[in-house]
Structure 1
Amino acid sequence: MIGFFLGPLFISLLVLLVIFWTFGFVIRKLLGVERMKWVSNPYVNERHKKLDWSVRIPFTILFLISYFNYSNNNFIEAAWYFNPWFIVITILIVTEILRAFMEWKYAENKKKYIVTIAEMLFTTSVLYSIIRTDFFGIFN
């Protein structure tokens, strides 16, 4: 039974990764922004690093509290703003908005923040669609 779901799940996640990568590649080419390396430092400056961690730590604590609350209640539906998936999506959006602001204010290539915002909006739209449609009905 588990093997039945792993095949479509793996293929679906692989397709999503290709779609996200292709979108990022195209938007960067259009705006003339170079791609960041996988192991590079994503922070614009030291202030960005401090602000980013001051956002991540409270969200991580909130996520852990939410997850333990959710799992201890036998995964009974909680308020939408206290679901672990909502907290994860929120932290991704907040950190990307922070990154876009810091790129707009401090980066050498001023178009970099547009790429960050476009990728964030695209990723958020796709993730929202996946959540609302139960992965487009693939696993029904």
Structure 2
Amino acid sequence: MEGTGYSETLSFDWLWGLPAFFVVSGLAIFSINWILRKILGVERKKWFSSSEYFVNEFHEKVERYFRYGNTALYILFLLFFGFEKGSIYFVALTFLLSVPQELFRAFMEKKYAENPNDYKFTLLEYPVSMIIFFTCAVAFTPEMFSLFMDELSFLFSN
């Protein structure tokens, strides 16, 4: 029987880069955030404590609207585009919708937070994290990153 064997047609080399991507990007983001906190004198907020995350009730209310609105948009995108193409839209939508939410959080921190450097940390945290995330994606999973970018270019060309 001639032809290519099953093991020759499927290449799972990119799978080895995936754990490295998650570990290195996670450690790098954690380290940079730790350094930024030390420089700016900002305390780390507890993950599941709404009393430390929100500066007042209005902030909590608007953040809730952001979350509900984002969830509704995710569901609409998945229903409209389907699960095959919807996943790429889901990732792009997550990055795009996070920007106004983080800007609102920084605005509320600048206006109402006790520490005057809280908003500076918020404004630096997201872009620095995205740079680390995309750099690690290119370094550790170049095939997946190029596939992602091809899908995004197709999205914006139509």
Distance 2:49 2:109 in 1: 15
Deviation digits for residues 69-116 of structure 1, max 9, x if unmatched? 2226x428x9xxxx2222111222222111111100000001010001
- Say which of 28, 35, 38 aligns to 1:19: 28
Provide the residue aligned with 1:108 in structure 2.
Answer: 114
> Structure 2 residue aligned with 1:46, among 57, 81, 91?
57
Shift of 1:66: 0.7
1:99 alignment partner in structure 2: 105
* Higher normalized helix content (fraction of residues): 2
Q: 2:68 aligns with which of 57, 73, 82?
A: 57
- Count of residues in Structure 1 that have an aligned counterpart in Structure 2: 134
TM-score (norm: length of structure 2)? 0.71
Which structure has the higher relative contact order (CA within 8 Å, separation 6+)? 2
User: Partner letter of residue 75 of structure 1?
Assistant: K
Deviations 1:36-87 (A, max 9, x none): 1233221111100111112221221111111222226x428x9xxxx22221
| Cα distance in 1 between the residues matched to 2:57 and 2:46 | 19
| Aligned residue in 1 for 2:44 | 35
* Structure 2, unaligned runs of 5 or more: 1-9, 147-158
- For the 8 Å contact 1:56–1:91, the answer to whether it is kept is no
Q: Percent identity?
A: 27
TM-score, normalization by structure 1: 0.79
Is the radius of gyration larger for structure 1 or structure 2? 2
Task: Note the aligned Cα RMSD (angstroms).
Answer: 2.9
